Structure 1
């Protein structure tokens, strides 16, 4: 110290150089820190829990006891456990943007338990990071629709007792049954990693089974429907029609809803009208043991003389699915399933094949095995599939239409 006082020039140079290098460090470090924050900072997504058939059971983080969820709930916190028994629901992940786009929708079937671990999106548009969602499927069955958003990829990580599945944009099904996990890719790409760090890539219409090791790729059930996700124009595979007693006619076109292409059925009017799409199939199914119908349905609104339901005769549902087939005896037959919202008038008929839904939510429908359900008149030839809206005023949507056949 005495030397420094005797040599003030040296002390001045030390102070000057230290200040210089500190300034240089700040000039370099601050922009790098800002750049890193802009590129890699993330925010939580808005996650909605929709109740399709309640109540659902939800255990919130930090609380030991589950609570019953009867109505839709927004801003579901991370690490929430959702369980179903004889109930159904959906977890819907919205990217953190002003227009609130849907990037992932997770359909929860009966007897399913899922842990929502995280859902993050980049804070700034300049970030190269994808939207990322992490889920744990402890038991049961889920369907996932994964959508990219405005040029940004979406990545979903699904954990199970048998390993991890990483999903890109597409449509998938994951089933956890005891010690076995089955992954099916309808459309998209999946990477499966087991506990031994072995990996397997799956493409469209492939599946794999993981139970300590990975078995696959295996063929998925054959889908007999063309363009059931409406990714190409409606006239690819489908023909449309409309019938009405008076104008205006009903319309059907393809629109985007929650990041998916859907068939949109609409009419605002009085008296009976019908609008639909149909597809010729012409497939011999006598060698198949399983035949199952799947589709996603949303009924935005309906009105038949101020009521819900399916009209006086029970035949005017806002969405009806009709499968025309020829049985093994050569007789032409049909299988029907309808969907409606609201309450019908007291003297109106409700057919056994019509199902009531909550309005304005997406619902996933899976039929029973039709080869067993129709065992008295077993299908031999599937002739065609028709999906139509019937009534006075209606607005309904369908997508992910599949007729899955398995030998």
Structure 2
């Protein structure tokens, strides 16, 4: 028969062989109220943590969750090659617009006559591209990441990460959207982060050069070296070195060539139309850039013209290089070629200058996409095309002139002063666009 006695934290009992045995009693049985309070406090703490963490987790997901988006690739000249991944051995030849360029793709412009445009972000429910990369010959680009927020209420920007392995590219990030666009570019020598603006990047095996045409870029080299580059400046970096002080890239004699400022502060417009519906020029935003849109749609078989002019008034005696560059997009022309006098291009650029002998001269270059020989009227087949070139329609085409100092000197006399730059569309009915106009001297 066992007998038990209460003794604080232990009890004693007699074993069958007559010996006393001491047994411990759990502490919680001594004070069950304390245990109950402990359980309540732990439960309340877990409840408070859930009340805080669940909404924060939901808010984090709503803000930062993303979904991948395909890019749009458009060849301008030649054939672009697309590898589904950077390690793929079989490329896809791209001769028309492709809207299914996915993350992980590699784009290659192979020869000296290849150009293309990579549309980075397409606005939901629209064909408008909010940023783009212009790809030039002998260039290799990897599409690493293109993301949009999963939830519309997220305030985060669109995110794009590209890698320029070699070659030249221009990047436009003027989105004009309520949601920003954050673009990062990796090169073999470092990384560049772009704000809204226009940028030019060149990569070879030894060096990366970054030119900021407009906007602001952050250049990161290594782990701790970072510099902010403003408009009109240039920096470079190699694997081991980095230009800590941005220098003047070149001098651009054209003001507001990207139309980011009020047009009439820098450009004057003129319309020519006699007793008929005149044309017009509108500044609009397309594909991540601001452009001048020349348009005239009215009565046929009457001459009209719309023109933009900028007073440049800069001496160029001290320079040995001058080149005009602009992006052109032709959408419509009812008059084939440049008309029977070769003067009515859907878009033409003309430089007015004074030579070293004081004589005012003009040099110009026009663009068209409808060939007179392809017109329904056979009488147009012999229309001449002078001072112009045929370019692809409905696509952005980058024109860069030869060195005009040497060209004009060889044709007559060297220019001493640039007076004006004219950009105009003429003919019957037409639609054309121009953007990113530069007159570079060095």
What TM-score comes out, normalization by structure 1 length? 0.89
Counterpart mapping for 1:26-65 below 5 A: 27-61=51-85, 63-65=88-90
Equivalent position of 1:351 in the other structure: 385
- Provide the C-alpha distance between the structure 1 equivalents of 2:294 and 2:345, rounded to a whole number of angstroms: 12
- Provide the C-alpha distance between the structure 2 equivalents of 1:148 and 1:265, rounded to a whole number of angstroms: 21
Summarize the Cα distance change of 1:23–1:100 in structure 2 as closer, same or farther, 3 Å threshold. Answer: farther
Equivalent position of 1:278 in the other structure: 309
Equivalent position of 1:318 in the other structure: 346
- Provide the C-alpha distance between the structure 2 equivalents of 1:18 and 1:196, rounded to a whole number of angstroms: 44
**Is the 1:59–1:66 contact (alpha carbons within 8 Å) kept by the matching residues of 2?**
yes
Q: Say which one has the larger Rg.
A: 2
| 1:360-387 per-position Cα deviation (integer Å, ceiling 9, x unaligned) | 2222222222122223132111111000
- Provide the C-alpha distance between the structure 1 equivalents of 2:438 and 2:55, rounded to a whole number of angstroms: 52
Residue 74 of structure 2: SS of its match in structure 1? strand
**Is the 2:254–2:438 contact (alpha carbons within 8 Å) kept by the matching residues of 1?**
yes
Quote how far apart the aligned CAs of 1:292 are: 1.3
**Is the 1:102–1:147 contact (alpha carbons within 8 Å) kept by the matching residues of 2?**
no
Quote how far apart the aligned CAs of 1:138 are: 1.2
Equivalent position of 2:395 in the other structure: 361
Quote how far apart the aligned CAs of 1:24 are: 6.0
**Is the 1:181–1:209 contact (alpha carbons within 8 Å) kept by the matching residues of 2?**
yes
| Structure 1, 239-248 or 267-276: larger mean CA deviation | 239-248
Equivalent position of 1:129 in the other structure: 156
Q: Which consecutive residues of structure 2, in runs of 5 or more, have no partner in the other structure?
A: 1-24, 374-379
Quote how far apart the aligned CAs of 1:233 are: 2.7
Quote how far apart the aligned CAs of 1:144 are: 0.8
Equivalent position of 2:11 in the other structure: none
| 1:135-189 per-position Cα deviation (integer Å, ceiling 9, x unaligned) | 1111111111112453433221111111111111111100113301110011111
Equivalent position of 1:227 in the other structure: 256
> Cα RMSD over matched residues?
2.7
What TM-score comes out, normalization by structure 2 length? 0.83
Residue 202 of structure 1: SS of its match in structure 2? strand
Counterpart mapping for 1:1-400 below 5 A: 27-61=51-85, 63-84=88-109, 85=111, 86-195=113-222, 197-211=224-238, 212-215=240-243, 216-268=245-297, 269-270=299-300, 271-304=302-335, 308-345=336-373, 347-351=381-385, 353-376=387-410, 377-400=413-436
Residue 373 of structure 1: SS of its match in structure 2? helix
- Provide the C-alpha distance between the structure 2 equivalents of 1:21 and 1:198, rounded to a whole number of angstroms: 45
- Provide the C-alpha distance between the structure 2 equivalents of 1:223 and 1:75, rounded to a whole number of angstroms: 37
| 1:266-308 per-position Cα deviation (integer Å, ceiling 9, x unaligned) | 111312211111112111101112211111211121111xxx3
Equivalent position of 2:438 in the other structure: 402
- Provide the C-alpha distance between the structure 1 equivalents of 2:117 and 2:424, rounded to a whole number of angstroms: 25
- Provide the C-alpha distance between the structure 1 equivalents of 2:209 and 2:90, rounded to a whole number of angstroms: 30
- Provide the C-alpha distance between the structure 2 equivalents of 1:53 and 1:352, rounded to a whole number of angstroms: 22
Residue 214 of structure 1: SS of its match in structure 2? coil
Summarize the Cα distance change of 1:20–1:96 in structure 2 as closer, same or farther, 3 Å threshold. Answer: farther
| 1:57-115 per-position Cα deviation (integer Å, ceiling 9, x unaligned) | 11112632122110010021112111112200010112452235422211111221111
Equivalenced residue count is 399
- Provide the C-alpha distance between the structure 2 equivalents of 1:245 and 1:291, rounded to a whole number of angstroms: 37
Residue 98 of structure 2: SS of its match in structure 1? coil
**Is the 2:337–2:369 contact (alpha carbons within 8 Å) kept by the matching residues of 1?**
yes
**Is the 1:233–1:254 contact (alpha carbons within 8 Å) kept by the matching residues of 2?**
no
- Provide the C-alpha distance between the structure 1 equivalents of 2:381 and 2:128, rounded to a whole number of angstroms: 42
- Provide the C-alpha distance between the structure 2 equivalents of 1:400 and 1:96, rounded to a whole number of angstroms: 22
**Is the 1:48–1:72 contact (alpha carbons within 8 Å) kept by the matching residues of 2?**
yes
Quote how far apart the aligned CAs of 1:206 are: 0.5
**Is the 1:96–1:121 contact (alpha carbons within 8 Å) kept by the matching residues of 2?**
no
- Provide the C-alpha distance between the structure 1 equivalents of 2:73 and 2:422, rounded to a whole number of angstroms: 31
Quote how far apart the aligned CAs of 1:355 are: 2.3
Q: Which consecutive residues of structure 1, in runs of 5 or more, have no partner in the other structure?
A: none
**Is the 1:266–1:393 contact (alpha carbons within 8 Å) kept by the matching residues of 2?**
yes
